[in-house]
Every structure is written in C-alpha cells, then in structure tokens.
Amino acid sequence: MMRATFTFTLSTVLLFFSALGEGSSASSRILPSVTEFFEVLQDNLTEVTWEHAVNSQAALKEALNSSDIMMIEADIVLGYLEGNSTFQLPVMAHPPSNTSDLSFEDFLNQVIQNKAHGIKLDFKSLEAFNASCTILQSRRENMTFPVWLNADILDGPVNSSLIGEPVDATKFLQLAVTHLPNATLSLGWKTRYGTDYNITDGSYSEANVEEMIKTISNVSLPITYPMRAGLVANSLSAIEKLLNESANGTTLTVWSSAGDSVDNETLSDVIKKIGVSRVYVDVPDELWGRLDLKSSPSSGIKIGAVAFGTLLAAFLFAKFF
Ligand SMILES: *[C@@H]1O[C@H](CO)[C@@H](O)[C@H](O)[C@H]1NC(C)=O
Ligand SMILES: *[C@@H]1O[C@H](CO)[C@@H](O)[C@H](O)[C@H]1NC(C)=O
Ligand SMILES: *[C@@H]1O[C@H](CO)[C@@H](O)[C@H](O)[C@H]1NC(C)=O
Ligand SMILES: *[C@@H]1O[C@H](CO)[C@@H](O)[C@H](O)[C@H]1NC(C)=O
Ligand SMILES: *[C@@H]1O[C@H](CO)[C@@H](O)[C@H](O)[C@H]1NC(C)=O
Ligand SMILES: *[C@@H]1O[C@H](CO)[C@@H](O)[C@H](O)[C@H]1NC(C)=O
Ligand SMILES: *[C@@H]1O[C@H](CO)[C@@H](O)[C@H](O)[C@H]1NC(C)=O
Ligand SMILES: *[C@@H]1O[C@H](CO)[C@@H](O)[C@H](O)[C@H]1NC(C)=O
Ligand SMILES: *[C@@H]1O[C@H](CO)[C@@H](O)[C@H](O)[C@H]1NC(C)=O
Ligand SMILES: *[C@@H]1O[C@H](CO)[C@@H](O)[C@H](O)[C@H]1NC(C)=O
Ligand SMILES: *[C@@H]1O[C@H](CO)[C@@H](O)[C@H](O)[C@H]1NC(C)=O
Ligand SMILES: *[C@@H]1O[C@H](CO)[C@@H](O)[C@H](O)[C@H]1NC(C)=O
C-alpha cells in the first residue's frame, strides 16, 4: 500500500529528522499532531500514507521498514499470544480472531524504538482498551509521534445495532482522557455495510451526527471522525453539520473495507467539498486509484461566479431600495 509519488518527500523529512538528532524539539515533542510531526504536509491531509491492519510481527517489521508509510493502523483485542491460551492480554488482531504473534506491548515498544511513524490504534472492545491503558500511560513520555485512539462508540448505519453493541462511549472517553491526555481521539460509529452483509447503499444520518456531537460535548482532546467511504459519498450535508458543530481542527478519516461498494466520483467530490485540509484517506489501493482529489479549476470559477453574483445582488439591492 504505497503511493509512489510520496517517496521523495517522506525520505526528505526523515533525513531532516535524523539530521536534527536526539533532543531536538521537532523530534522529541510528546504526542505531536500528524501535521506537526510530518512537516512535509502542507494543507493536504490526503497526502498522508497509510498501512492498514498491521497486526503481526511480519506486517509491523515491513511497515516500520518502509519510508513510504506515515501512519500505521492496527487493531487490538483482548486475547492470547499464539501457543498460550491461558494468559489473556491485549494483542494485535481483528475479530473474530483473538490470537496473534504480536502483543500490544511489543507493538508499542517497536514503534517507540523506530520513532518515524504515527499510529492509529483501533480498540475492538472496552476491555481491550482498559487492559491497554497502563501500557500506554507508562510509555507516554516515549511517544514522540502521533497516537490516535480509535473506537466505534455509537450505533450507526445501516441499522448497525443488528450486529452488536458499540464500545461504551462514556467509559472509553474517561479512560482516554485519564491515561493519555493529548492523544488524538478517533471516534466512530459501528457500520453494517459491505460484502459481509451484502449491503451496498446507506448513509450517515442527521441523528447519527447529533448523537456524536452530544457525546463529545465535554471532550477537549483533538478529534478525527472515522467514516466509511461508501457511506460518506451519500452524506455530505450530515458531514458538514458534524464539522460545523465540532471544534476547529477536527478532521475526518475516510476508511473502507475491501469489496465495499463505493461511488468514486461522488466520494472524490464530497472529499473536495469538505476540503483536503480536513480529510485523511485510509482506503485500499484499489479505491485510492479511482479517486481524483486534484482541485478542479471549475469549482474555483463557480465560487467566483457565486461571489460575483452576491456582490451584484447587493449592489442592485442597495441601488433600488
Ligand atoms: C529496511 O531494511 C533494509 C534491509 O533489511 C535496510 O537496508 C533499510 O535501511 C531499511 N529501511 C528503513 C526505512 O528502515
Ligand atoms: C503463558 O504466559 C504466561 C505469562 O507470560 C506464563 O506464565 C505461562 O507459563 C504461559 N503458559 C504457557 C503454556 O506457555
Ligand atoms: C477465541 O477465539 C476462539 C475461536 O474463535 C474461540 O473458541 C474462543 O472462545 C475465543 N476466546 C475468547 C476469550 O474470546
Ligand atoms: C480494567 O483494568 C484494570 C487493571 O488495569 C482491572 O483491574 C479492571 O478490572 C479492568 N476493568 C474492566 C471493566 O475490564
Ligand atoms: C523513554 O524515555 C525515557 C525518558 O525520556 C528515556 O530515558 C528512555 O531511553 C526512552 N526509551 C526509549 C525506548 O526510547
Ligand atoms: C432499520 O430498522 C428499522 C426499524 O427497525 C426498519 O424500519 C428499517 O427497514 C431497517 N433498515 C434496514 C436497512 O435494515
Ligand atoms: C497538552 O498539550 C498542551 C498544548 O499543546 C499543553 O499545554 C499541555 O500541557 C499538554 N498536556 C499534557 C498532559 O501533556
Ligand atoms: C445481495 O443482494 C442482491 C440485491 O439486493 C441480491 O440480488 C443478491 O442475491 C444478494 N447476494 C447475496 C450473496 O446475498
Ligand atoms: C458535560 O459536563 C456537564 C458539567 O460537568 C454535565 O452536566 C453534562 O452531563 C456533561 N455532558 C456529557 C454529554 O457528558
Ligand atoms: C474557528 O476558526 C475561525 C477562523 O479561524 C474563528 O473565527 C472561529 O472563532 C473559531 N471557532 C472556534 C470554536 O474556535
Ligand atoms: C471512477 O472509477 C472509474 C472506473 O472504475 C474511472 O473510469 C473514473 O475515472 C473514476 N473517477 C475518478 C474521479 O477518478
Ligand atoms: C492532495 O493530495 C492528493 C494526494 O497526493 C493529490 O492527489 C491531490 O491532487 C492533492 N490536492 C490538492 C488540492 O492539493
């Protein structure tokens, strides 16, 4: 999962960081934001490169070794290390799997050693997060890279309550704020969509958005909302409402599962309307290759025309009344 065009710029920033060496402020700041850490980013978050589901020793070695990858996404369950079904601990795995050759603690230690990547930690249950909190807290001073704590904390489309409960929102937020202040929270809705359920159509509703806004009203940590690509394409007005009622700096992270039905034209359009400065895109290569996120000159002209029309109307209004 690499975006070839990025190679040069990221190597440049890595060289920059290694030239700064230990103790420099840019590389030793605790829990920086993605844009603070990857200084190469200008105003386009879709340039951030991702490796998804980094849930094994081999996948982690490969991701850490790749200068083409900025953010590492990985899943945490309360489970077992392979070959030991008696001792339960947080491990890197995606349900229904509950075993791994990589514990969460080992994962975090390797990322800390490496120092060059940010992480998005997708906690699959409150128990998994709770059991990971002391590990996170004890290493806080060593996390000189972006750390996102992700969970699906609300029911969502399409009738997701049919497939299980979200992570308890209040408890998740309490634990996060207590153990890792200044991490970024990635707060999402459960989704029932895609090949697992043979669902190809749906959207985030106003009610979904209103529930989220209410839920995060007392949270002061930075937030990104993970939203599923196929649903995002149908949800522009709900997303605009969500971002308008969230703190400045709040972002969206568009994700997708392999095989999801996604209208690439509409999705490209929605991302550009929200603005590439507010949207991370963590989707399979197949979908990434079908998106067009270049700013279209025509939209600039349209905005210009609207602005001119408004001015003209104001002028006429003033003149005739
Ligand atoms: C990746 O590994 C190769 C050898 O295994 C090494 O030469 C290279 O420097 C590594 N790259 C990074 C970015 O760590
Ligand atoms: C499982 O892991 C625990 C904790 O590390 C250890 O005490 C126990 O001996 C291990 N059991 C087996 C069968 O390896
Ligand atoms: C782990 O997964 C296995 C296989 O699906 C299942 O039999 C077992 O009950 C699971 N254990 C826990 C604690 O969830
Ligand atoms: C949370 O973790 C603590 C230990 O860190 C444990 O004592 C407690 O029982 C756990 N609570 C839940 C709900 O898992
Ligand atoms: C973690 O941070 C402490 C204190 O800043 C430092 O002494 C230690 O070497 C760091 N460990 C790693 C693995 O970076
Ligand atoms: C969702 O649930 C409502 C109420 O139970 C039902 O009317 C609706 O048809 C369901 N929609 C889907 C897509 O399953
Ligand atoms: C969080 O970050 C702010 C500013 O970035 C800083 O003032 C504050 O001390 C940090 N809090 C913790 C607990 O590190
Ligand atoms: C999926 O849904 C379509 C139409 O809704 C139906 O034609 C098809 O048979 C379904 N496939 C499966 C595997 O359920
Ligand atoms: C936010 O905090 C206020 C005051 O502490 C409290 O009354 C309210 O219930 C909280 N709201 C949420 C959604 O937690
Ligand atoms: C967000 O930023 C805009 C422009 O920079 C500013 O006018 C507005 O007051 C800010 N809103 C909040 C809630 O901080
Ligand atoms: C959407 O995908 C189709 C092929 O699946 C492609 O022809 C089209 O150019 C894509 N649209 C954009 C905006 O990239
Ligand atoms: C943003 O970055 C993407 C990915 O590199 C690129 O395709 C797109 O043209 C950029 N858009 C703008 C407006 O800079």
The C-alpha atoms of residue 230 and residue 260 are separated, in whole angstroms, by: 7
Asked if 27 and 19 touch (Cβ cutoff 8 Å), the reply is no
The C-alpha atoms of residue 250 and residue 114 are separated, in whole angstroms, by: 28
Nearest ligand, CA 197: 8
Chain segment 252-305, per-residue pLDDT in tens: 999 999 999 999 999 999 999 999 999 999 999 999 999 999 987 654 444 444
- Whether 130 is covered by a domain: the verdict is yes
CB neighbours of 106 closer than 8 A, spacing ≥ 6? none
Residue segments in the chain with a per-residue pLDDT below the cut of 70 = 1-27, 297-321
SS3 261: coil
CB neighbours of 286 closer than 8 A, spacing ≥ 6? 258
Asked if 278 and 252 touch (Cβ cutoff 8 Å), the reply is yes
The C-alpha atoms of residue 304 and residue 316 are separated, in whole angstroms, by: 18
Nearest ligand, CA 89: 2
User: Per DSSP, what are the bridge partners of residue 159?
Assistant: none
CB neighbours of 288 closer than 8 A, spacing ≥ 6? 3, 281
The C-alpha atoms of residue 289 and residue 310 are separated, in whole angstroms, by: 38
Q: What is the CATH number of the domain that holds 111?
A: 3.20.20
Closest Cα to atom 6, ligand 5: which residue?
142
Q: How many domains does the chain have?
A: 1
Which residues does a 6 A CB cutoff place in the pocket of ligand 9?
214, 217-218
- Whether 158 is covered by a domain: the verdict is yes
Output phi, psi for 67, to 5 deg.
-80, -5
Which residue range(s) make up the domain with 222? Answer: 7-320
- Whether 262 is covered by a domain: the verdict is yes
Task: Please identify, by atom number, the ligand 5 atom nearest to the C-alpha of residue 109.
Answer: 13
- With the CA atoms of 199, 204, 208 and 213 taken in that order, what torsion angle do they form, in degrees rounded to the nearest 10? 140
Nearest ligand, CA 63: 1
Distance 48 CA to ligand 12 centre (A): 10
pLDDT of residue 152: 98
- Whether 1 is covered by a domain: the verdict is no
Closest Cα to atom 9, ligand 11: which residue?
290
Find where tokens 């229904």 sit.
96
Which residues does a 6 A CB cutoff place in the pocket of ligand 6?
158-159
Closest Cα to atom 11, ligand 2: which residue?
84
**Is the minimum distance from the CB of 25 to ligand 2 under 6 angstroms?**
no
Tell me how many degrees the CA angle 267-51-276 measures, rounded to the nearest 5: 35
pLDDT of residue 319: 41
Element (H, E) at 174: helix 169-179
pLDDT of residue 144: 97
Angstrom CA distances, 65 to 3, 69, 263, stand at: 15, 9, 33
The C-alpha atoms of residue 5 and residue 17 are separated, in whole angstroms, by: 20
The C-alpha atoms of residue 184 and residue 36 are separated, in whole angstroms, by: 13
- Whether 2 is covered by a domain: the verdict is no
- Whether 111 is covered by a domain: the verdict is yes
Which residues does a 6 A CB cutoff place in the pocket of ligand 3?
96, 98
**Is the minimum distance from the CB of 85 to ligand 2 under 6 angstroms?**
no
